[in-house]
Amino acid sequence: MKFYSPQKLKTIAELIGAQFIGPEDFQVLGTNEIHMVKPGDIVFVNHPKYYEKALNSAATIILIDKEVECPEGKALLISDDPFRDFNKINTHFTKIYNFTEELHDVEIGEGTRIHPSAVIGNNVKIGKNTHIFPHVVIGDRTVIGDNVIIQAGTVLGGDAFYYRKLNGNFDRMISVGNVVIENNVEIGNNCTIDRGVTDSTVIGEGSVLDNLIQIGHDTVIGKKCLIASQVGIAGCCIIEDEVTIWGQAGVASGIRLEKGTVLLAQVGVNRDLAAGTYFGPIAEDFRTYLKKEVKVRNLK
């Protein structure tokens, strides 16, 4: 998430009541998750296991629960609860509406048709010649391109599935990102595409999604991908261009699939995959899988 204007380190520290290490006028441009950070971003970390990753990331401001040595060229915000304060920063700079206020700041392009039963949030942009079917829900800040088809019951921009366990309960990370649907995309019935926590969940130009598909927060689907029914893709994945994913396949969080990869039905993906065709509950090369099956059958 980028702030509307650059902020100073001291200003952010005062907002959350944190100690800071670094020049008080150190520039802060926004916030982001560890998978997505860029220079100028705040990233939070609240476990020693991930200190090194956060401190050595592209982020230049680290919101952390312990005073540590500050890397050169970076700044620290010392907080007793970085998760809580990351939420506080995000919601201070991003208005959360959740369909509770009058519709405003919606742009709809020429030739676009929207069924009266569809529900649209605030700060939404929809391009030209797009068709929105009945009972579609379009959350705040969603951006939809030209010549897009979104079929009945689909939800764009629901909250990310991102929680921590706190005092025996689940505490939500508030999602302030959005969903971006590029031109010429088709999305089937009853799909759910979660908005980014701090960035964008993206469906690339010319991609086609079947019915009943779940796409997690901050995942980027490339151009001209084909995804069949009941596929589940977790958050922060990178699905490169022209990937095909067949029915009921599942992809764990933070995975990258190279351009042209094919996942056959019910594949489970727990690691990055190079281009190829994969099958099995723990994805393996399809030809290798078939050879193993032949050997097993020959043992009988």
Residue 284: exposed, middle, or buried by beta-carbon count in 10 A (0-12, 13-18, 19+)? middle
CA–CA separation, 140 vs 98, rounded Å? 7
Choosing from 35, 47, 92, 217, which is the catalytic residue?
Answer: 217
CA–CA separation, 199 vs 222, rounded Å? 16
Q: Percentages helix, strand, coil for the chain, rounded to the nearest 5? A: 15, 30, 55
| Tokens linked to 286 | 């399809």
SS3 131: strand
CA–CA separation, 211 vs 151, rounded Å? 9
130 half-sphere exposure, CB direction, 13 A CA radius? 24
- Nearest residue to 209 via CA among 230, 188, 192, 194: 188
State the first-to-last Cα distance of the chain, in angstroms, to the nearest integer. 58
Are 89 and 31 within 8 A, CB to CB? Answer: yes
User: Does the annotation mark 35 as catalytic?
Assistant: no
Number of neighbours of residue 3 by Cβ within 10 angstroms: 17
Could you tell me which residues come within 8 angstroms of residue 189 by beta carbon, excluding any fewer than 6 positions away? 133, 151, 152, 153, 154, 211, 212
DSSP assignments along 169-236, one per residue: EEEEPPP--EEEE-TT-EE-TT-EEEPPSSSEEEE-TT-EE-SS-EE-TT-EE-TT-EE-TT-EE-TT
Are 28 and 3 within 8 A, CB to CB? Answer: yes
List the catalytic residues: 217
